[in-house]
A and B are shown apart, each in its own frame.
Chain A
Amino acid sequence: MSDGAGATAPKPSSSVKLVLLGEAAVGKSSLVLRFVNNDFQPNKEPTIGAAFLTQKCQLPNRTIKFEIWDTAGQERFASLAPMYYRNAQSALVVYDITKPSSLVKAKHWVAELQRQASPGIVIALVGNKLDLCEDDNAEAEQADAENETEEEPSTARKVSTKEAKAYADEESLLFFETSAKTGHNVSEVFTAIANAIPETSLKGPRSGAGGGTQAAISAGQDNNRVNLNARGEAGPKEGCAC
């Protein structure tokens, strides 16, 4: 999966804050679970409030550590999201391809992100539950698992790829159709986001470009970040003025 490429030499590593948004029950948490643990729970209970998870994504020349904020889609008061997309470098807006209303909600989220989030935020639009639409899901290995739940899988799709893709293109969003259940396209979404993050907006712990000085770039270190875990035992004595 995402972290399969066993890196031998240490690569520059950067943290990327990612927020998941979307209507309730579209599979936001399941996407994260698939990405982070390569696991799937068929009847996952709704997320309460929010969840925070991390996962690394290996790119050829760097490691991206995703700090994933998974928000509750059924959140009643619409007050949570602003604190998650504040300073987020990327957002994953999820809808359910069997539920047109969820795309409407997704479009609201995209508009809100474009209005309120950081100017350079990378947004991916993701249509989830591809496994419920057997007809356009060519992957043979997925066929068995699906039929048990849906009576008419071939008609389950309610949002066409073409429609969603056209919208995504118009708004300059990355676009994927995924199945958290089978894992189809899941790691691809995160890898695409990782690739789309401008290098200049990457931050520590070992970010290169965010460092701001030549020395920082060449050393692959974020030269601004103070590491609170490195609280020196001998520090105060050594540094103090006497």
Chain B
Amino acid sequence: MESLNDTQWDVVISGTGLPQSLLALALSRSGKKILHVDRNDYYGGDEAALSLSEADEWAKKHASEPTDTTSTFSHASIAQAPTDGEPGKGKLGHSRGYSLALAPQLLHSKSSLLPALVSSKTNDQLEFQAVGSWFLVNTPPDGSASQAKLTRVPGGREDVFQDATLDLKAKRSLMKFLRFVVNYEEQGDTWEEYRDKPFSSLLEDKFGLVPASHPPILALALSTKSSTDTPSKFAVPRVAKYLTSIGVFGPGFGAVLPKWGGLAEIGQVACRACAVGGGVYVLGKGISEVQQNDDSDMKIYLTDGEVVSSKWLAGVPQDLTHSLSAIQSPEPDVWMTKSISIVSSPLASLFPPTSEGGVTPAGAVIVVQPVDTAEPPVHVFAHSSESGECPKDQCILYASSARADAQGFGVLNHAVEALLQSVGESTEPQVLWSMHYRQRYTSTHDAPSTSDSVITLQSLSPDLAFDDGTLGNVRLAWQRITDGDQEAFLKFEAREGTMEDDELT
């Protein structure tokens, strides 16, 4: 077998982003002949993890304005602090000492992806770490970063009781809210009329929480929108999901991150599992055209001119543009402005142990409040070097904000600066290297759609936490291809030669 067209493929998967890779994993034991291609010469697609030199190349490729309606990334640029060799000043490490995540989404401990990774026997090739503390950064009305204040968000009942900044009445109100929110599904009448109203009005009207107490609660919702634009129907389930996730994998934390570069690592492990199952992997080849035939397999033209035939073709919309021209998105695109910063300090105070004797988190969430509450907040995910994403004594800050205006990069820089100034280190940590870019999210239909044999998978949403809908969408695609029982989705026996991991404590 020397060329790809010697095989009658059952499934061609285009792109190695997370949704496509999860489909590859789901199909890895199906016995189907799978060809998994990616137009990039690296794995991970929109969820890739990059070394410094790969990031350089990536930024050059995505430096321009969006060229057409399918380009996901634009306006990418890299800034590097001058290396003047000042002693004691941090220096950038080896390019491959970094694994910068384009998708640093956290996973709630209750995310349905986690049990799926366990049941698909991929969990023992992955390492998950805790996202521990949540913080707020408040900048004073004049907006100066030097006056910014960092406060930790109370993570549960005990924290609330011990919080000296809250008076007794505030504590009572807060406890009342917390009791409500974890059972919100049974208490529709309490909040039904507030579903479409701002979450803050629910907090104020129903629970007597003064506006000053809203930001910590809102922070837990991880809403990319401003507080006035965050409706209760989004925030209530989200706060509940976080709070009920606390303790699932250990005390004191309710979210995890995959080591080695965010969601990229899950995608890689998923692809490996498919390769072990016999899937064929080819980088540097995309799909240029698809020809469907009524009575035989479709013909898929690859970007280098090769033609393969397959029963099914699956990918996210960006990878299938040539076969999907008819699809109109019902909703406008969402844009996020993002930055990745390498910081010259481990910022250890952001990663206190989750509990006495508990795990040391590798992640922290910082919400930088806008001065104007009508503006969207800036979220910063801090990853320590334990995440495998940077050398020791440094850390990575992933900042994002739901905007696409000319001020976006400045707003992110200001937020990172406010965080670094408020973190309370004797010498202010420096940003050694940073990359800025914009990312477009095209909304897609809920179900894998379109023609009989071309399956459109949903791209990841702009959500800051992994959206379980992605997995549900992959499951529908898997069911269409295999006609399988949904109960069997991602449930595999251990492969021969691998021992059950008996040594996990």
Contacts and interface: CB of A to CB of B under 8 A. Distances in A.
Contact of A80 (B1, B94, B96, B275): B275
Taking chain A's interface residues, is the majority helix, strand, or loop, or is none over half, making it mixed?
A: mixed
B276 A224 contact: no
A205 interface: yes
Interface of B: 1-2, 4, 42-43, 94, 96-97, 99, 110, 114-115, 117-118, 123-125, 127-130, 155-157, 160, 175, 178-179, 182-183, 243-254, 256, 259-260, 265, 268, 271-272, 274-284, 353, 357, 359-362, 384, 386, 388, 495, 497-499, 501, 503-505
B304 to A, nearest CB: 11
B1 A76 contact: yes
A121 B155 CA distance: 39
A99 to B, nearest CB: 20
A198 interface: no
A229 B504 contact: yes
Contacts of B115: 228, 231
Given A236-B246, A239-B251, A224 B360 contact: yes
Contacts of B386: 210, 212, 224
Nearest to A115: B96
Most interface-central of B43, B96, B246, B497 (chain A CB within 10 A): B497
Interface string A216-242: 100001011111111110011111111
Interface of A: 13, 36-37, 48-54, 65, 67, 69, 76-77, 79-80, 82-84, 86-87, 116-119, 203-206, 210-213, 215-216, 221, 223-232, 235-242
Contacts of A231: 114-115, 118, 248-249
13 contacts: A49-B279, A51-B497, A79-B283, A87-B265, A117-B96, A225-B359, A227-B505, A229-B123, A230-B250, A231-B248, A236-B247, A239-B246, A242-B178
B182 A242 contact: yes
B77 to A, nearest CB: 25
B244 A240 contact: yes
A207 to B, nearest CB: 10
Contacts of A242: 157, 175, 178-179, 182-183, 243
A197 B391 CA distance: 17
Contacts, number: 179
Given A228-B117, A236-B246, A79 B282 contact: yes
A151 B30 CA distance: 44
A215 B251 CA distance: 17
Contacts of B160: 241
A239 B252 contact: yes
A36 B497 contact: yes
Contacts of A51: 276, 497
A239 B254 contact: yes
Given A82-B283, A230-B249, A216 B360 contact: yes
A205 B282 contact: no
B327 to A, nearest CB: 29
A13 B504 CA distance: 10
A49 B123 CA distance: 20
B275 A54 contact: no
A119 B97 contact: yes
Contact of B275 (A83, A225, A238, A240): A83
B447 to A, nearest CB: 29
